[in-house]
Amino acid sequence: MEAACTNNMSETQDTIFGKIIRREIPADIVYEDDLALAFKDINPQAPVHILVIPKEPIPKLADAGDQHQALMGHLLLTVKRVAEQVGLTNGYRVAINNGAYGGQTVCHLHLHILGGRQMKWPPG
Ligand code: 5GP
């Protein structure tokens, strides 16, 4: 487990997800294009738990800028595409944990797709 992704860790740094992008460590990859990668979470919190990440190592959502507007839209549409691909026809949750209080542990922006069971609210 990596340290919490705190505000003073905003500088671009390599992470476990960078190693997955470069195929230095294995992952169960379900989708890839020029800008994004999607792979199964190693510690799934639902029957389907997939992470969608940009290949550009943006540490967290709060570090995204105006120059990332198109990329952010691409990531959301990638979530939709992957959810359809894996058959989440009854709905799913999309979550972004941002920074320490957000519970972010890997400092490379990622969108969680959680599905295959009824989600509860609030998430806690
Ligand atoms: P966060 O808590 O930062 O929002 O989410 C990080 C997620 O990355 C966690 O759900 C965790 O299980 C997942 N994760 C951490 N290390 C690895 C890994 O090496 N491979 C995969 N596939 N997922 C990982």
Beta 29-32 vs 92-95: how paired, if at all? unpaired
Q: Please give the positions annotated as active site.
A: 110
| Any ligand 1 atom below 6 A from CB of 16 | yes
Tokens of 124: 């806690």
Threshold 0.75, pTM exceeds:
yes
Average pLDDT for residues 15-19, to the nearest whole number?
A: 97
CA of 106 to the centre of ligand 1 (A): 7
| pLDDT tens-digit map of 24-81 | 999 999 999 999 999 999 999 999 999 999 999 999 999 999 999 999 999 999 999 9
Rg over CA atoms, the chain = 14
User: Rounded CA gap, 16 and 108, in Å?
Assistant: 9
Residue 40 lies in a domain: yes
Residue listed under structure tokens 């944990």: 97
3-state secondary structure of 37: strand
CA of 108 to the centre of ligand 1 (A): 10
Residue 99 belongs to domain spanning: 16-115
| Any ligand 1 atom below 6 A from CB of 103 | yes
Number of domains in the chain: 1
**Residue 45: CATH number of its domain:** 3.30.428.10
| Any ligand 1 atom below 6 A from CB of 3 | no
Q: Is the pLDDT of residue 115 over 80?
A: yes
